[in-house]
Amino acid sequence: MMAVTPKKTEPGPDLELTKAAALGDDVARRRVVDRLVDRVSITVRYLAGGDPDADDYAQMAIIEILKSVGSFRGESTLESWADRITVRTAIRQLKKRRRRDRMEEIAPEREGCGTSLDVAPERKLVRHRMSARITKLMGTLTPERARVLTMRLVLGYSIEEISSITGMKTNTVRDRLAVARRQLRKKIQKDPVLKEFAGSISGQVA
C-alpha cells in the first residue's frame, strides 16, 4: 500500500498576523487588539467581579498579549491562546489586590461599585443590570473557582479544555466547578431579580 506523503501546510492567517504584530507592524498590532479587546474585557469583568480596577486588569492583559504575541504558534485559535494570558493576568492582579487590601485593612467595599448603569433602551438596561449583579456575585467566589466558572460559563470551554489551559487535573476542574456552581446558585436564589436565572446557569455549567 502506497504511503501518503502529508501535504505541507502554509501558515494560517492568524499566524501571519501575529508574526507581523511581533515584528512591530502597527496595523497588525491594532488588528490583534481590535479582535480580542471585547473578549478580554468580558472575561476580566467576570473574573474581577465588582473590582473597580477591572478595566486596568483588562488593559494589562492586552499588553501581555501584545508582548507575548510572537509566541503564538497557531496550534489553537488566537482567541484560545489569548484566553490563557487573560486569565493568568487577571488572577495575578486579583491576588495582588487582595493581598494589598488585607495589608492596608481597607474599609468595606464601596457601595454600588460596578453596578451603576444608565443605558437605554429599557431591555438593554435590564440586561446590563443582570450582568452587573451576576458579575458582582462572581467576584465573591475564590479566584480559583471564579476562574473555572468564567471559562465554562462565559467562554464556553469544556472541562477538558479548561484542564488543558490551566494545567489543572480534570477532576480538580470538575470539583471547583461544582462548588462554584452551588455557591453562585445560592447567591442568585437570594437575589429576587436573578432567582429565575438560577436554573439556566446550572444547566450551562453542569
pLDDT tens digit string along 118-136?
434 445 545 556 666 777 7
Q: Is the peptide bond before 6 cis (omega within 30 degrees of 0)?
A: no
What is the per-residue pLDDT across 42-98, written as a single tens digit (0 to 9) for each? 888 888 777 788 888 899 999 999 999 999 998 888 998 999 899 888 888 877 766
**Is residue 183 classed as helix, strand or coil in its secondary structure?**
helix
pLDDT score for 183: 87
CATH 1.10.10-classified regions of the chain: 117-206
For the chain, first and last CA: distance in Å? Answer: 47
**Cα-trace Rg, the chain:** 19
Q: Could you confirm whether domain 12-109 is CATH 1.10.1740.10? A: yes
Torsion of CA 190, 192, 193, 195, to 10 degrees: 60
* Confidence label for 36 from pLDDT (cuts 50, 70 and 90): very high
CATH 1.10.1740.10-classified regions of the chain: 12-109
Could you write out the DSSP letters of every residue in 94-155? HHHHHHHHHHHTPPSPPTTTTT----SSHHHHHHHHHHHHHHHHHTTS-HHHHHHHIIIIIS
The answer to whether the beta carbons of residues 75 and 69 sit under 8 Å apart is no
pTM above 0.75, yes or no: no
pLDDT score for 66: 94
Instruction: Give the chain's mean pLDDT.
Output: 76
pLDDT score for 120: 44
Instruction: Say how far residue 131 (Cα) sits from the centre of its chain.
Output: 14
* Confidence label for 4 from pLDDT (cuts 50, 70 and 90): very low
The answer to whether the beta carbons of residues 44 and 57 sit under 8 Å apart is yes
* Confidence label for 2 from pLDDT (cuts 50, 70 and 90): very low
Q: Could you confirm whether domain 117-206 is CATH 1.10.260? A: no
